[in-house]
């Protein structure tokens, strides 16, 4: 599977700052896309974007925190680094409580910003790897027949084969066959592993 290209998305209303950030990031070998305000970025946003956002906290119209809220509503995975003025630190702390990964104060050292961006890109890679693994588990769950799904739920709840057989009014041998098929389709030989797999995607299948 081809890895999605990571891009640093710069959302900054100051033309000079935006241009200098673009130059800095390109000189560091980063793919970069710039936006003059939050609304323009929001129109361009899609779920398959990978990378991180460098976001000015104070902008005319929709500010950085409002954009963060909109992205949270869309369940965006893109890590956000806020760029703040001295008086905006309390706002930046609030933004981090809402999920931003970091903030940096103006004026900032270019090296410090690049370090924060590299850290955010690594977080993005980790998040997308985890999401990919979860999506594979969901795909496997969807291959189960209704009866196999029912058996799996009872397995996860800790029911013994004999109990499952009695409650579903089927033979214990039939339960064993379904159980074997569940383990095969889910790609595991361990009940404990199966439980962990299913619990890890509860938020995606509920």
Q: Which CATH number does the domain housing residue 101 bear?
A: 3.40.50.2300
* Domain-embedded: residue 135: no
Q: Which residues pair with 105 in a beta bridge?
A: 84
pLDDT at 3: 59
- Asked if residue 174 and residue 110 are part of one domain, the reply reads no
pTM above 0.85, yes or no: no
The number of distinct structural domains making up the chain is 2
- Asked if residue 96 and residue 45 are part of one domain, the reply reads yes
* Domain-embedded: residue 136: no
* Domain-embedded: residue 73: yes
* Domain-embedded: residue 63: yes
Cβ(137)–Cβ(196) under 8 Å? Answer: no
pLDDT in tens, 7-60: 999 999 999 999 999 999 999 999 999 999 999 999 999 988 999 999 999 899
Segments forming the whole domain that contains residue 52: 6-127
* Domain-embedded: residue 178: yes
- Asked if residue 103 and residue 15 are part of one domain, the reply reads yes
pLDDT at 117: 97
Token representation of residue 185: 């389709």
pLDDT in tens, 121-177: 999 999 999 999 999 999 999 999 999 999 999 999 999 999 999 999 999 999 999
- Asked if residue 19 and residue 108 are part of one domain, the reply reads yes
Q: Judge whether residue 1 has pLDDT over 80.
A: no
- Asked if residue 120 and residue 41 are part of one domain, the reply reads yes
pLDDT at 10: 97
**Mean pLDDT on 167-194:** 95
pLDDT in tens, 107-135: 889 999 999 999 999 999 999 999 999 99
Q: Judge whether residue 198 has pLDDT over 90.
A: yes
Between 148 and 90, name the one with better pLDDT: 148
Q: Judge whether residue 2 has pLDDT over 60.
A: no
- Asked if residue 155 and residue 95 are part of one domain, the reply reads no
* Domain-embedded: residue 161: yes
Q: Judge whether residue 4 has pLDDT over 80.
A: no
- Asked if residue 113 and residue 33 are part of one domain, the reply reads yes
pLDDT at 202: 86
Q: Is residue 200 packed enough to be buried (19+ CB in 10 Å), middle (13-18) or exposed (0-12)?
A: middle
Give the Cα separation of 145 and 2 in Å (integer): 31
Q: Judge whether residue 93 has pLDDT over 90.
A: no
Give the Cα separation of 158 and 151 in Å (integer): 11
- Asked if residue 114 and residue 26 are part of one domain, the reply reads yes
Nearest alpha carbon to residue 21 among 46, 42, 48, 52: 52
- Asked if residue 159 and residue 115 are part of one domain, the reply reads no
pLDDT at 95: 84
- Asked if residue 15 and residue 84 are part of one domain, the reply reads yes
- Asked if residue 97 and residue 59 are part of one domain, the reply reads yes
């Amino acid at each position: 599977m081809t890895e999605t290209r990571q891009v640093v998305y710069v959302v900054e209303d100051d033309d000079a700052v935006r241009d200098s950030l673009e130059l800095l990031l390109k000189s560091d070998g980063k793919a970069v896309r710039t936006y003059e305000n939050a609304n323009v970025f929001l129109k361009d946003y899609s779920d398959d974007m990978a990378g991180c956002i460098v976001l000015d906290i104070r902008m005319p119209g929709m500010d950085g925190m409002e954009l963060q809220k909109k992205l949270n509503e869309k369940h965006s995975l893109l890590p956000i680094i806020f760029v703040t003025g001295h008086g905006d630190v309390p706002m930046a702390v609030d933004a981090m409580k809402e999920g931003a990964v970091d903030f940096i104060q103006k004026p900032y050292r270019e090296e410090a910003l690049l370090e924060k961006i590299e850290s955010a890109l690594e977080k993005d890679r980790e998040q997308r790897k985890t999401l990919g693994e979860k999506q594979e588990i969901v795909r496997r769950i969807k291959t189960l027949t209704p009866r196999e799904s029912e058996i799996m739920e009872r397995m996860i709840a800790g029911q013994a084969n004999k109990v499952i057989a009695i409650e579903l009014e089927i033979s214990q041998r039939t339960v064993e066959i379904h159980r074997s098929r569940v383990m095969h389709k889910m790609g595991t030989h361990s009940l404990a592993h199966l439980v962990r797999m299913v619990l890890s995607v509860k938020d995606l299948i509920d």
